[in-house]
Structure 1
Amino acid sequence: MTDMFNVRHQWFTETILGDGGHCPCCDRWGKQYRRGINTTMANGMVWLAQQTVPCGEWIDVPKTAGRDVLATNQFTTMRWWKMCERHIDIEDTERKHSGLWRITDLGARWVRGEVAVPRYVWTYNNEVKAIEGPDVFIGDIVEGFSYPEIMSAAYNAHPDA
């Protein structure tokens, strides 16, 4: 093993997996984060599911989402569980992202309460490095969750919005 490999390995195991820190070479901050599914993420997925019936349609989130979804933008982190995906716009080099999102089959099934997913992911450098349970259904996250109710026009996850 090379000295650079050893230094990098030591920095990763002691710093990135610990409290985080700045790279001694480029000064970039690095840390591995544990992310857990929360109510705001789940409600964002509910909103996305309501917009993408039938499943698979791209939704222009900045143009269609209410302020409750846009203020937190939490549903986008559900991409780490492969429940939604961002459209990659290879033609527009001016913008970082297109703003288009869609729910995946797994995301739609999770919102319907058909499947459970691990509650936590560990991310580093915007990539999932590990997955950790327990497995959770949407009803474990959102108290009193009812799929038929959320798909009706009467559902309002954020009454004060």
Structure 2
Amino acid sequence: MIRLIATFGYIGYLRPAPGTWGSLAALPTGWALMVLGGPWLLVVATVLIFVAGTWATTRMTAGQPGHDPSEIVVDEVAGQWIALWPLAFGAANAGASYTALWPGWIAAFLLFRLFDITKWGPVGWADRRNDAMGVMLDDVIAGVFAAIGVVILAGLFHMVLMS
């Protein structure tokens, strides 16, 4: 169970770039959650995956020299789902299909990967904790930054359309 959660159904064993595979796997699962229960189900699932991911990461890394083995991708899933929150709420509020906001999906994915890989500012601080909470938190913070970026890009896009 620990490995199943930490690797998000063994997606973390895909090579190369398991973190990117984890982020990609988060997209259809995030969409499915939105379709099944709307944006609030995505939020609840994000909180649950964060808690389960922290538990599984703590267990999987116990006694190992590396605090963040590349096969652990549950953190990418949590962060990517956070990056999708503006799309989920935006589509629900507009009465649009979730896939109608497809440019936002691309932006959420690319921005999340950018912040997760570069580890700027607080993302890097969380990563340097060198513990399971840091493994999860750096991606949560990257997800928040990506979500803010999605909102900004959507505002700019709609401003251009309205003028």
Give the TM-score normalised by the residue count of structure 2: 0.28
Q: Identify the structure with bigger relative contact order (alpha carbons < 8 Å, sequence gap 6+).
A: 2
Q: Name the structure with the higher strand share.
A: 1
Q: Name the structure with the higher helix share.
A: 2
Is the radius of gyration larger for structure 1 or structure 2?
1
Give the TM-score normalised by the residue count of structure 1: 0.28
